[in-house]
Structure 1
Amino acid sequence: MTEDEEPFRPEPEALLAEAGRADRGRLKIYLGMAPGVGKTYAMLEGARQAKAAGRDVVVGVVETHGRSETAALVQGLEVVPRRSIAHRGHTLQEFDLAAVLARRPQLVLVDELAHTNAPDCLHPKRWQDVTELLFAGINVYSTLNIQHIESLNDVVARITGVRVRETVPDKILEQADEVELVDLTPTELIERLNQGKVYAPELAGRALEKFFNPGNLAALRELALRRTADRVDDQVLGYMRAHGIEGPWPVNERILVCIGRDPASGLAVRAARRLADQLQASWIALHIERPNAPLPQAAESDPAEAAMKAAMDLGARVERVVGRDLPGEILRFAKRNNVTQIVISRSRGSWIKEILRRSLPHELVRRANGISVHVLTQNTQRQWRWGRDLRLPKGWLPWAGSMAGITAAVVAGELIPDLNRPGNMSTLFMAVVVFSAITFGRTVAAITSVAAFLCYNFFFLDPLIDFRVAHAVDLITLLIFLVVAITIGSLAGTVREQAEAAQARIKAMRALYDFASRLGATFRRDDLVHAVAIHANRVADHQAMVMLADGDELVISHAWPPEDALEPSGWAAARWAREHAEPAGFGTDTLPTADWHFRPIRTKDSIVGVVGIRRRDGERVASGEMLRTLDAVLDQAAVAIERIDYAEEAAKVEALDATDRLRGALLSSVSHDLRTPLTSILGSVTTLRQQGGQLTAEGREELLATIEEEADRLDRFVADLLNMTRLESGALETKADWIDVADLVDSAIRRVARRPKAELVGRKIPGDLPLIRADFVLLENVLMNLIDNALKHALGATQIVLTARRMGNRLELSVTDDGRGIDPDDLPHLFDKFYRAGRTDAGSAGAGLGLSICKGLVEAMGGEITVTSPTEIGRGARFTVSFATPPQPKSATAIEAEVGR
């Protein structure tokens, strides 16, 4: 390790992973290529060794399949009895998870990890039982065949022609603390099969024909070996990261290809893929971006972006790192990821560059310790391109500005005698060069330096007005001026480019920060899409459009500046971007002549839409940095869309749960409220039929009264249900008519006269009350419900009074009791459906519909209903119904008098 390298420290993610495994049980999987290799036998041997070491071992479930050697190993181990489950006329013996959790041994054996449990078990799969055991802190030994791993299911089906239905997720194998490969050669396994040690003799021949042939077994064996090796390699890498160990440990080959802004990077990517295929190794593509590097003008002109895309297409894991010390960052990344071989490209440059600049390949070779470095070179000399390598500015202004500066310096030197000295003029020309570098860039500064050199020689050194130099000292001074001018101009131009790059990155970071802040306060998809359009426009400085998927088609959702139309080529690019999940339009290989560039919005499950930017006149490609920032915006937008979708789905699920709860409450209440009066009616009718001749007249009258009362109660309940249905469906029709309040109150009191405690009901109605317009029958039902509510639920009440009074231009009808009152927590919910206040008497609870129906009926007639508790006496409750008092109708006497006149 060099002095400037930081010491390796444990990675937080690896430490957290180890800490997460501290409180859970450890899982050991015995992995085999096929049935019969001896997985269960090896598991039992391991269990016996653990028991001999003093560990508490039990057998949860072990399938011996009639093999005497395997059954013999079970002897001496505690066996937890299996659970018997009846299923389709058969009795199944399943693993008893509850019994093992209650027993809590140190180690439990659970054979056949991919087994599907019977329907009545707690979990549908045995691997889920194992997961619960591990969370409970119980260690588990289990067995698994390679064909039962989910990701290899299709591969095994193609090899053997047999698709296995029972599979285990790959994460179970990845979470296993130990994987022990139980291996046999195909010849040995076939011999065991012929000896009847795998299947019964009558099944062995069929197995040999289909599954257990040498070719299949050899392929399955290779799969098992490779999968076990991959798992062990992951464990080694995790151990190194958790303990801060500097790699590499060459236990498995891992290739790293370094990608830079070099035309040979594509060559390195293809070479790394070929090397990875030859070694059957994983490979990583790494691009290190220096913070002071100038930004590429366009993605098309950036070789690094093209090489990274090619690496991703070829299956590499793509990583990006920001750092100044390229060799140090590459080696640090390689050691962290246990890389064994590095592939890097090197373009041929001039011998001057080889002398002046540090060579990255040479530095890697010098500093690499235990890592092989492959250096690839191009066969042809790199061709110089003026437009690309010199970065010539566009337009005439940079050239005119620099030449104007040189001309001004010459004129000043000629007109001001004291300025016309070599030292002063060199400083003045140097200022012009620095100005050109800062304003127009390095290329213009280099040309300005040459122009200043020539003007300095031509106008201010002897002989004047001549390019010849009279003295050797002047020649040295002139050459030093040229070198210093070019150097200072180059440095100043580099500072300018770095400042522009920093500004662009700051702008991108600010845009991402603003967008992330806005997303945090966005809860509607429409607001989110509007924000995406605005920030896409801000990032790209182009017109932006967001199109969302509507079934199989795209629709324009938002655009900024607003736009509601798209030309056919734009539609084609948008559809292609959505269908293929890749960019399309100008600046891409798909529909490059379109005026729009579309990029997909990817969520975890699908492409939810596309975002497009319109090119300006004459623009051919889009900036690579802008596209990367736009991709970051789209990634955040996709996460936000998923969050909104999940929230909407959760709201729907919550609404369904609430509906189910209401439905359950309604069914429970309806069944109770219907059953109670029906039971009383049936009981009374049965008594009259069977014992009618033996009953006294009073007894028969009492039973008939009970039948009448309960039938009336049943009729009221059914009427409540019908009224609620009409209210919710909007089918309730009201018939407005003039109503005398005194008649209404008397009618309601008469209808409740036969109910229990009806003697508590009284009235206070003045004689000068105006008429109101309402539906007499519905309003009578409201008063009856309010009286009935008070009779049932007003605990400790001694009187219930119906009053009516005129309050301004409204008439109020009140039902007031002097009971204990209503709990303040219940008051806001009294008119909710199915709500039952806590003041209800035992056995008097109803469905919780009465007050809700009262509110609906009163509002349907244009009135208002309120509740107050306590009343003026400090207790009790008052329900008040109020209606506006319209202009009163003329009396018959008044009408006759008018007719007579």
Structure 2
Amino acid sequence: MDSKCTDFRIETFHRDRENKKEGKGIFKIYLGYSPGVGKTYRMLQEGNKMLEDGEDIVIGYVEDHDRLETRQQIGKLEIIERTKTKYRGINLEEMSVLNILKRNPNWVIVDELAHTNIPASKNKKRYEDVLELLDNGINILTTVNIQHIESLNDMVSEITGIKVRETIPDRMLQIADDIMVIDLPPESLITRLKSGKIYKKENIQRSLENFFVKSNLIALRELALREAANEIDDDLTILKRNREFKNHIRINEKVLVCVSSNPQSSRLIRHAYRVARRYKCNLYVLIVDCTNVVAKREYKEMDKVLEGHKKLAKALDAIIVEKQSKSVSKAIVDFANEEGITQIILGHSNRSKIQTLFRGSTINKVLSEAPNVEVRVIPYVQIQD
């Protein structure tokens, strides 16, 4: 198998087990961006390794899609008997939650998390079966593709032109103790498809002309990696809040530009946008309404200029943030810490010598109070549109 896994199982990504309901099972998801990337293959590989290490692990349901290399990975794993049902004259099989509970293993392999069970099943969806097993203290290994995540359904439809009917709630990712992204370059995936390793010969050409278009695969791959990264960011936020993770460690680039009523701040916004675009990251435009009694205030003129800055920021898809504070530097540093900002961009101060004497330098304060954030001070005259 020529797939590789982009493994996000780093220490900061494991969920806080202390806050988890006592007796609830561990939940691990193998996440892919397309059929054929190797999710089931890798899950079965790990299952066999766990079996060799003495774990009580069984197969609750695996769909091999007639792929020989996947079927071979079942190895010595015990397979729990499925429920057999006749529906509309067709004999069908479903995973048996009852049989799994009777067997009561430590771990269960459950393929295709987004699957819809046949009518008259105890649970409508397979993810509901999984939740029931977790509630009974059974640990789960499962697989799902990014296009089945509910909140991404419309986006996936726009990318592929195909409406995915089977979805799972986003919270299934959020409650996972472990998410492993199974990654395969689109070119390699297309090669596997053409060689008949994903679908039968009669379905290959149609797949190449529809879902397996290279541009679709590239977009879905990025979506899967970003979704996993978002889950990591959420966990980092929790760890920081609980003081389990050093606040100065930033993983993803985030750019913050602080603008004032100076008309030249528009150039500062454009400069910051180019920096953010270079890093392919979010740009935050911070506007601080300084309530200090010595702050210069010319409301009509200021409002007109600031509205222009906000209009520009919106056009550049920046995130606009407005704060009130007696100290501009404190507002900047506090926001940078809250959001995990990695770069702060400031323009040269236009304070008079008297204002600087009484209030100090915003730039110097930010440099002093945010030692772990890169601060760029840009002379307005050097900013090129």
**Shorter-chain TM-score: which interval?**
0.7 to 0.9
SS of 1:181 mapped into structure 2 = strand
Shift of 1:273: 4.4
Q: What is the rounded CA distance, in whole Å, between the counterparts of 2:103 and 2:305 in structure 1?
A: 60
Please name the residue that 2:364 is paired with.
362
Counterpart-to-counterpart distance in 2, 1:319 and 1:178: 36
**AA of the residue aligned to 2:66:** G
Rounded to whole Å, the distance in 1 between the matches of 2:30 and 2:358 is: 59
CA distance in 1, matches of 2:128, 2:66: 26
Change (3 A) 1:293 1:353: closer
C-alpha distance in 1, partners of 2:137/2:324? 40
Q: 1-side partners of 2:290 and 2:350: how far apart?
A: 22
Taking the aligned partners of 2:50 and 2:305, their CA distance within structure 1 comes to 55
Specify the code of the residue in structure 2 equivalent to 1:316.
I
Match of 1:422 in 2: none
Q: Which residue matches 2:97?
A: 97
Deviations 1:350-378 (A, max 9, x none): 34444554111122124432311133454
Distance 1:337 1:307, change over 3 A: farther
The answer to whether the 8 A contact 1:267-1:345 is kept is no
Q: Is the 8 A contact 2:349 2:362 kept in 1?
A: no
Determine the structure 1 residue equivalent to 2:12.
none
Q: 1:199 to 1:364 in 2, by over 3 A?
A: same
- Aligned residues of 1:284 and 1:319 also touching (Cα < 8 A): no
Query: Could you report, residue by residue, the CA deviation over 1:589-639 in whole angstroms, capped at 9, with x for unpaired residues?
Result: xxxxxxxxxxxxxxxxxxxxxxxxxxxxxxxxxxxxxxxxxxxxxxxxxxx
Residue aligning to 2:72: 72
Whether contact under 8 Å (1:247, 1:336) holds in the other structure is no
Show the 5 A alignment for 1:635-650.
Answer: none
Asked if the contact 2:285/2:318 (under 8 Å) is kept, the reply is: no
Q: Does 1:281 align with 2:281?
A: yes
Does the Cα contact within 8 Å between 1:110 and 1:140 map onto a contact in 2?
yes
2:180 maps to: 180
Q: How many aligned residue pairs are there?
A: 364
Question: Could you tell me how far 1:101 is from its partner in structure 2?
Answer: 3.8
Q: Deviations over 1:539-573 (max 9, x none)?
A: xxxxxxxxxxxxxxxxxxxxxxxxxxxxxxxxxxx
Q: Give the whole-Å Cα distance in 2 for the aligned partners of 1:309 and 1:80.
A: 60
Q: What SS does the aligned partner of 2:85 have?
A: strand
**Deviation of 1:306 (Å):** 4.4
Contact 1:308 1:318 in 2 (8 A): no
- Corresponding residue for 1:341? 343
The residue that corresponds to 1:231 in the other structure is 231
Residues 51, 318 of structure 1: alpha-carbon distance in 2 compared, 3 angstrom cutoff: farther
| Partner residue, 2:145 | 145
Q: Distance in 1 between matches of 2:107 and 2:248?
A: 35
Q: Whole-Å Cα distance in 2 between the matches of residues 298 and 99 of structure 1?
A: 72
Paired AA for residue 362 in structure 1? N
Contact 1:345 1:375 in 2 (8 A): yes
Structure 1 residues 209 and 245, CA gap change in structure 2 (3 angstroms): closer
Residues 359-402 of structure 1: CA deviation (Å, up to 9, x unaligned) = 1112212443231113345459xxxxxxxxxxxxxxxxxxxxxx
Residue 316 (structure 1) aligns with: 319
Structure 1 Cα separation of the partners of residues 77 and 169 of structure 2: 30
Instruction: Output one character per residue of 1:670-712: Cα deviation in whole Å (capped at 9) or x when no partner.
Output: xxxxxxxxxxxxxxxxxxxxxxxxxxxxxxxxxxxxxxxxxxx
CA distance in 2, matches of 1:26, 1:305: 51
- Paired residue for 2:63? 63
Is the 8 Å Cα contact of residues 28 and 140 (structure 1) preserved in structure 2? yes
* Aligned: 1:220 with 2:220: yes
Task: Name the Cα RMSD after superposition.
Answer: 3.5
Matches within 5 A, 1:106-185: 106-185=106-185
Opposite residue 363 of structure 1, the aligned amino acid is K
Equivalent in the alignment of 1:21: 20
C-alpha deviation, 1:294, in angstroms: 8.7
The answer (yes or no) to whether the contact 1:113–1:144 under 8 Å persists in 2 is yes
- Percent identical residues: 39
Asked if the contact 2:43/2:141 (under 8 Å) is kept, the reply is yes
TM-score, normalization by structure 1: 0.37
1:466 is matched with none
Q: Give the 3-state SS of the residue equivalent to 2:105 in structure 1.
A: coil
Distance 1:73 1:32 in 2: 18
Instruction: Give ranges in structure 1 of 5+ residues lacking alignment.
Output: 1-15, 381-901
| CA contact 1:258–1:286 (8 Å) conserved in 2 | yes
User: Quick check: 1:265–1:303 contact (8 Å CA) kept in 2?
Assistant: no
The one of 315, 329, 332 equivalent to 1:330 is 332
Q: Matched residues in 1 for 2:234 and 2:219: separation? A: 23
CA displacement at 1:222 relative to structure 2: 2.7
Distance 1:22 1:259 in 2: 46
The SS at the match of 1:167 is coil
1:66-88 superposed Cα distances (whole Å, 9 cap, x missing partner): 22222222232222221223322
Q: Secondary structure at the match of 2:152?
A: helix
> Counterpart of 1:187 in structure 2: which amino acid?
E
1:73 to 1:290, Cα distance in 2 relative to 1, 3 A = same
SS for the counterpart of 1:84 is: strand
C-alpha distance in structure 1 between counterparts of 2:69 and 2:111, whole Å:
16
Identify if the C-alpha distance between structure 1 residues 303 and 362 changes in structure 2 by more than 3 Å, giving closer, same or farther.
farther
Q: 1-side partners of 2:105 and 2:69: how far apart?
A: 25
CA deviations over 1:788-835 (Å, ceiling 9, x no partner): xxxxxxxxxxxxxxxxxxxxxxxxxxxxxxxxxxxxxxxxxxxxxxxx
Question: How much has 1:96 moved relative to structure 2?
Answer: 1.9
Measure, in 1, the Cα distance between the counterparts of 2:244 and 2:331.
17
The answer to whether structure 1 residue 247 and structure 2 residue 250 are counterparts is: no
Are the aligned partners of 1:268 and 1:345 in contact in 2 as well (CA < 8 Å)? yes
C-alpha separation in 1, matches of 2:279 and 2:113? 32
Contact 1:67–1:197 under 8 Å retained in 2: yes
- The SS at the match of 1:255 is strand
Unaligned runs of 5+ in 2: 1-14
